[in-house]
Amino acid sequence: MIKRYKATKDNTITNAFDATLVNRGTGSNMGRADILEVFSIYGQTSGSVGLSSEKTRILIEFDIDSLSDDRDAGIVPSGANYYLKLYNARHSQTLPEGFTLEVSAVSASWEEGLGLDMEGYTDLTYDVRGSNWIRRTGSTSWDSQGGDYHASPLFTASFDIGTEDMEVDVTTLVNQWLDSTKENYGFGIALSSSLENSDRSYYTKKFFARSSHQFFDRPVLEARWDDSKQDDRGSFYASSSLAPAADNQNTLFLYNYSRGRLADIPAIISQDSPEIYVSLYETLGGAALTLCDSTTVATGSRTSTGIYSCDICVQTTASTLYDVWFYGSDQFHTGTLDVKSLSSNEYVDTGKYVFSVSNRNQSYYHDQTHRIRLYARNKDWSPNIYTTATSVPPSLTFESASYQIFRVVDDRVIIPYDTGSSQATRLSYDVSGNYFDVDMSILEPNYTYGLKVSVYDPDTQSYEEQPFTYKFRVVNNVY
């Protein structure tokens, strides 16, 4: 899952010379400019202390209160990763190559200001609202010119050719803000100290600011986490010597709905360590089956509000089993499992699939999170007339699959495949097939978007993008 949080203020501060090459623009403010800028200029003038050095730095702050509210509400888990993302702004000036930017935590409050002039530095803020190189507010100075920053944590971003966007894992700092071990005054971004003070120029790297008219180029703080659920009810396998021990485990889920909403089971949630138990039966009313760990009861746990899961392994030749969920003398649910058996093949069978969206909509509201369900079958499925007239094959489920979303008008990728450590675009699956949730507020309204899916191929050990595109439109909710 991915959620993005907007910047609440940003600014570029500088000690560069103005057009006169005599006076420095240390009192200037660029808080309302649609560009953020980092540079270092060496030797533009000389004086009694030698050749001059001119610098700019970026200040940017995000809505951590909204993120904190989402984490308290369980929308964002405590184990999420956080990324600071700024987007390159192309320009006609000299662009540095092979440089490093440092990202640190600002240690004092500051004001954004109303300045726009990034050329002549004529928008001054002395005794007026806004921050600059010397002052963090209209009348309060920084302890050190150029801003006050914590020494740690310190993050870096490298740029080989200079046109790259910036993406930095800032999880450590964001967690400190959320846990109130540091006060949130935002990020400071500057050339690394060795480059900023070197005897050569790095002029100039530009990013889009929060006031940019380009929706997808505005700075964001992105939360990523793996929210996928692997529910093996539709692909339950009997234990086999052909599989590693971990692959013989099946994960089952129980979803407890009360009046249309997920709700915790009172008898479970009242425990200090909420647990629920599961037994398997070949016939209801018969004896519980002995599991792989030589017991007849598997212990499950609460996953989130109203959702419980349990890992279970059994060796059986039965084609159907019944799973009974209980605590003490209370039985909460009895389900049915179609048991599959593992087998070996004499050849490599790389599948080709046909996809569709089973709950498709022409449009989705921008201010909501929507669940998208996929239906998949083998491409070479050849039913006879009876099969076609009487049934639809059940959906295939893919244990390792990922999605990507792009804007149709220009093919710009908005949510890329995330198959790395965060697994933020991993598809969930259950007895009905694969599905995932999308926070549509990430997408700009009144545009059409395309959805692509990649499935992991164990033979090539890579994700293969499928020839399938689901197009949908995002609109504002007018009600």
Q: Of 24-38, 45-59, 311-325, 380-394, which gets the smallest average pLDDT?
A: 380-394
What is the SS3 assignment for 71?
helix
Q: How many residues does the chain have?
A: 479
Q: Is residue 17 domain-shared with residue 48, that is, in the same domain?
A: yes
Q: Is residue 244 domain-shared with residue 217, that is, in the same domain?
A: no
Q: Is residue 63 domain-shared with residue 149, that is, in the same domain?
A: yes
pLDDT of residue 347: 62
The whole-number average pLDDT for the span 446-450 is 97
Q: Is residue 277 domain-shared with residue 391, that is, in the same domain?
A: no
- Domain boundary residue among 316, 340, 364? 340
When pLDDT is cut at 50, 70 and 90, the band that residue 52 belongs to is confident
pTM over 0.95: no
pLDDT of residue 413: 97
Give the pLDDT confidence of 115-140 residue by residue, as tens digits: 999 999 999 986 778 999 999 998 89
* Selection from 293, 89, 316, 98 nearest residue 206 by Cα: 89
Print the domain residue range for 364.
353-475
Q: Does 346 map to a domain?
A: no
pLDDT of residue 299: 96
Q: Is residue 93 domain-shared with residue 193, that is, in the same domain?
A: yes
Report the domain count for the chain. Answer: 3
- Domain boundary residue among 203, 224, 245? 224
The whole-number average pLDDT for the span 404-417 is 97
Q: Is residue 83 domain-shared with residue 218, that is, in the same domain?
A: yes
- d(C-alpha 468, C-alpha 462), whole Å: 18
Q: How many CB atoms lie within 10 A of CB 276?
A: 24
- d(C-alpha 118, C-alpha 25), whole Å: 10
| Residue 48 predicted with pLDDT over 60 | no
| Residue 85 predicted with pLDDT over 70 | yes
pLDDT of residue 51: 76
The whole-number average pLDDT for the span 439-462 is 94
394: CATH: 2.60.40.1930
241 backbone dihedrals φ, ψ, rounded to 5°: -75, -10
pLDDT of residue 195: 94
Q: Is residue 335 domain-shared with residue 242, that is, in the same domain?
A: yes
**Please, which residues bridge with residue 77 across strands?**
none
| Residue 390 predicted with pLDDT over 80 | no
Residue 393 makes CB contacts below 8 A (sequence gap 6+) with 377, 381, 383
| Residue 218 predicted with pLDDT over 80 | yes
pLDDT of residue 386: 55
- d(C-alpha 82, C-alpha 69), whole Å: 15
The whole-number average pLDDT for the span 433-440 is 97
Q: Is residue 162 domain-shared with residue 33, that is, in the same domain?
A: yes
pLDDT of residue 20: 83
- Domain boundary residue among 224, 247, 276? 224
Q: What share of the chain is helix, strand, coil (3-state, %, to 5)?
A: 10, 45, 50
Q: Is residue 367 domain-shared with residue 323, that is, in the same domain?
A: no
